[in-house]
Amino acid sequence: MTPLLTDTLCTNCGLCCDGTLFADVELVGLSEVARLEIMGMEVENEGRNTGLLSQPCAALRGTRCGIYAHRPKCCRLFECHLLQNAQLGAVTVERAMEQIADAREQIRQVRAMLGRLGNRDEALPIKERCAETLAAQGGTTSETKDRADLEAAMATLEKTIWNTFLGSGQRRE
């Protein structure tokens, strides 16, 4: 991975850590699980040597990893579709930055809509928050309209997630 590109793109993004692209990070190996637990991270134990770190990740500080030097292997290896394309020169760094900014604006709008509909649970991945809110029935005509707007905004964000960030890139689930 080109350090310059991760410095430029990833430190202004964080979508693979904040619950937008993924719901959790897979930890492999007893030492990795133990290391994260020693650092005070809550790990959901899956088996003797595996665990899951829920997202939004508690180590995320703004758009940067707060435990960068000690981050799990899965985080070290992950490169989204956009980062891969930027590394290959298929997309310019400027265009990649614009795409990150566009996605972050879409996320901001979805979060604002969730807040207006009373869902302020920032500890959940955004897709889960939307599913919870959209499952609610009834309410005023205005709430019904707000839910329809939320559904449309989340559908647009899902397209962005797949087309720009996941694409054919490797999954981190």
Is 43 among the residues that bind ligand SF4 (CB under 6 A)?
A: no
Contacts of 73 (CB under 8 A, 6+ apart): 28, 29, 32
- Stretch 93-132: interaction string toward ligand SF4, x if CB under 6 A: ----------------------------------------
Selected from 28, 52, 60, 134, the binder of ligand SF4 by CB under 6 A is 60
If you ran DSSP here, which 8-state letter would residue 46 be given?
Answer: -
Helices (H), 14-140: 30-38, 73-77, 81-88, 93-116, 126-135
Please name the helix (run of DSSP H) or strand (run of DSSP E) that holds residue 4, with its range, or none.
helix 3-8
Selected from 43, 75, 126, 130, the binder of ligand SF4 by CB under 6 A is 75
Return the half-sphere exposure (C-beta side, CA atoms, 13 A cut-off) of residue 122: 9
- Give the integer Cα–Cα distance in Å for 156 and 167: 15
Is 91 among the residues that bind ligand SF4 (CB under 6 A)?
A: no
Q: Smallest Cα–Cα separation from 28: which of 84, 77, 91?
A: 77
If you ran DSSP here, which 8-state letter would residue 170 be given?
Answer: P
Selected from 27, 43, 80, 126, the binder of ligand SF4 by CB under 6 A is 80
Find the part of the chain contacting ligand SF4 (CB under 6 A) among 55-63, 112-120, 137-145, 150-158.
Answer: 55-63
Selected from 16, 91, 110, 154, the binder of ligand SF4 by CB under 6 A is 16
Is 32 among the residues that bind ligand SF4 (CB under 6 A)?
A: no
Find the part of the chain contacting ligand SF4 (CB under 6 A) among 71-79, 117-125, 140-148, 153-161.
Answer: 71-79
Closest distance to ligand SF4 from the beta carbon of 163 (Å): 13
Classified as helix, coil or strand, 162 is: helix
C-alpha of 42 from chain center: 18
Is 33 among the residues that bind ligand SF4 (CB under 6 A)?
A: no
Summarize as ranges the residues that interact with ligand SF4 (CB under 6 A).
Answer: 9-10, 13-17, 21, 25, 57, 59-60, 65, 67, 71-72, 75, 78-80, 82-83, 165
